[in-house]
Amino acid sequence: MSSPSTPARHAHASGGAAPKVEHLPPLTRPALRPSLPVGVAVLSFLLALAGMLMVLTAAVAILHQYLGSSAFPDSLLISSSLDIYGASILLVLGAAIVALARALWDQELWALYLTVGLLFAGLAYEFFTASITVLFLVLIVVFTYLLAVRHHFY
C-alpha cells in the first residue's frame, strides 16, 4: 500500500519549511450563561446550610448510637430522640437538600421545578391547615420570586 503523496509530506520529509495555514477554523464561544440572581444565591446558601446541619445531626446521632456516650457526649446531640432509622432518613434527606442547593446554584431547571413544587406543597399545607402566618407570607414571596426569575435557569 502506498500512501498518497502530498506537498506537506514531501516538504516535511525533505527538511523544508512546514506548510502555511492560511485560515483557522471559526472560534466557538460557549453559550452565554444567565447570571445567578441574588435571591436564588441566598436561597441556595440557606438550603445548603440547612442540609449540612441535617447531615451533621444525623451523623452525630448515628455515631452516638454505635460508639456510645464515651465518644460523643449527650450534650453534643442536637436531637436526642433520633433512633438509627430516623437518623438514616435524616442523613439521606440532608444529602438530597445539599444536592438541591448545589443544583439551584448551578441554575439547573429541574432544581427550580422541584423547589417550586415543594414551595407549592408547603403553601397548600399552610393554607388548608389555616396557618396563615409570617411563614406563609415568606413562602408566597419566595414562590413568586422563583417564578419571576425562571428565565435564568436552563
The domains of the chain are located at 36-106, 108-154
Which residue in 135, 146, 122 sits closest to 42, CA to CA?
146
pLDDT at 53: 95
Q: How confident is the model at residue 27 (pLDDT cuts 50, 70, 90)?
A: low
pLDDT at 14: 58
Indicate if the pLDDT at residue 67 is higher than 90.
no
Mean pLDDT of 63-79: 77
Read off the pTM.
0.72
Radius of gyration of the chain (CA): 28
Indicate if the pLDDT at residue 117 is higher than 70.
yes
pLDDT at 19: 76
Indicate if the pLDDT at residue 7 is higher than 60.
no
Q: Where are the alpha helices (DSSP H) in the chain?
A: 7-13, 38-67, 84-105, 109-128, 134-148
Q: Cα separation of 106 and 153, whole Å?
A: 8
Which residue in 106, 110, 115 sits closest to 34, CA to CA?
106
Could you tell me the three cell numbers for 79? 436531637
pLDDT at 32: 64
